Structure 1
Amino acid sequence: MSTSPLLLALLGDARLPSGGHTQSAGLEPALRAGTTSAQVPTYLRARLHTVTRVEAGTAVVARAVAVRGGDLADVEAAWAARTPSQALRANGRRLGRGYLRVLQTLWPGPADARARTWSRPVVLGLLAHRAGMDPVDLARLVGYDDVQTVTAALLKLEPQDPLLITTWVNELLPDIDALAADVAHLHHPEQIPAHSAPLIERWAETHDTTTERLFSA
Structure 2
Amino acid sequence: MPPVQSLSSSAVSLLLSDARLPVGGHTQSGGLEPALLAGLSSEGIVGYCRTRLATVVRTEAATAVVARHVTLGHGDLGLVHAHWAARTPSAAQRETSAELGRGLLRLARRLWLTGADLAALGALPSPARPLVLGAVAARTGLDAHHLAQVVAYDDVQTVVAAGLKLAPGDPVVATGWVWEQLGEIDRLATQVAGARTPGDIPSLAAPQIEEWAQAHAHTTRRLFRA
TM range (shorter): over 0.9
**1:152-196 superposed Cα distances (whole Å, 9 cap, x missing partner):** 100110111000000110111000000000000000001101001
1:168 matched to 2:172:
no
Q: CA deviation at 1:79?
A: 0.5
- Choose from 19, 22, 26 the match for 2:31: 26
- The residue that corresponds to 1:78 in the other structure is 83
Helix, strand or coil for the counterpart of 2:169?
A: coil
Helix, strand or coil for the counterpart of 1:117?
A: coil
Rounded to whole Å, the distance in 2 between the matches of 1:26 and 1:7 is 26
Hey, which bits of structure 1, 4+ residues long, moved more than 3 A?
1-4
Rounded to whole Å, the distance in 1 between the matches of 2:19 and 2:129 is 15
1:188 matched to 2:197:
yes
Amino acid at match of 2:40: T
The answer on whether the counterparts of 1:58 and 1:189 sit within 8 Å (CA) in structure 2 is yes
TM-score by length of 2: 0.93
- The residue that corresponds to 2:210 in the other structure is 201
Rounded to whole Å, the distance in 2 between the matches of 1:20 and 1:106 is 20
- Choose from 136, 147, 163 the match for 1:138: 147
Rounded to whole Å, the distance in 1 between the matches of 2:87 and 2:202 is 8
Q: CA deviation at 1:7?
A: 2.0
The answer on whether the counterparts of 1:19 and 1:98 sit within 8 Å (CA) in structure 2 is no
Helix, strand or coil for the counterpart of 1:41?
A: helix
Rounded to whole Å, the distance in 2 between the matches of 1:8 and 1:151 is 19
Amino acid at match of 2:201: I
Helix, strand or coil for the counterpart of 2:222?
A: coil
**1:16-46 superposed Cα distances (whole Å, 9 cap, x missing partner):** 1125422100000000111100010000000
- Choose from 2, 10, 30 the match for 1:5: 10
1:49 matched to 2:54:
yes
Gap regions ≥5 residues in structure 1: none
- Choose from 93, 99, 105 the match for 1:100: 105
The answer on whether the counterparts of 1:115 and 1:123 sit within 8 Å (CA) in structure 2 is no
Amino acid at match of 2:99: R
- The residue that corresponds to 1:159 in the other structure is 168
TM-score by length of 1: 0.97
Helix, strand or coil for the counterpart of 2:155?
A: helix
Rounded to whole Å, the distance in 1 between the matches of 2:34 and 2:134 is 28
The answer on whether the counterparts of 1:56 and 1:121 sit within 8 Å (CA) in structure 2 is yes
The answer on whether the counterparts of 1:18 and 1:97 sit within 8 Å (CA) in structure 2 is no
Residues matched between the structures, number: 217
**1:56-80 superposed Cα distances (whole Å, 9 cap, x missing partner):** 0000000000010001111111100
Taking every aligned residue pair, what percent have the same amino acid on both sides? 53
Amino acid at match of 1:173: L
- The residue that corresponds to 2:157 in the other structure is 148
Gap regions ≥5 residues in structure 2: none
Rounded to whole Å, the distance in 2 between the matches of 1:191 and 1:108 is 26
- RMSD of Structure 2 on Structure 1 (CA): 1.4
Q: In 2 relative to 1, CA 40–54 (structure 1 residues): closer, same or farther, beyond 3 Å? A: same
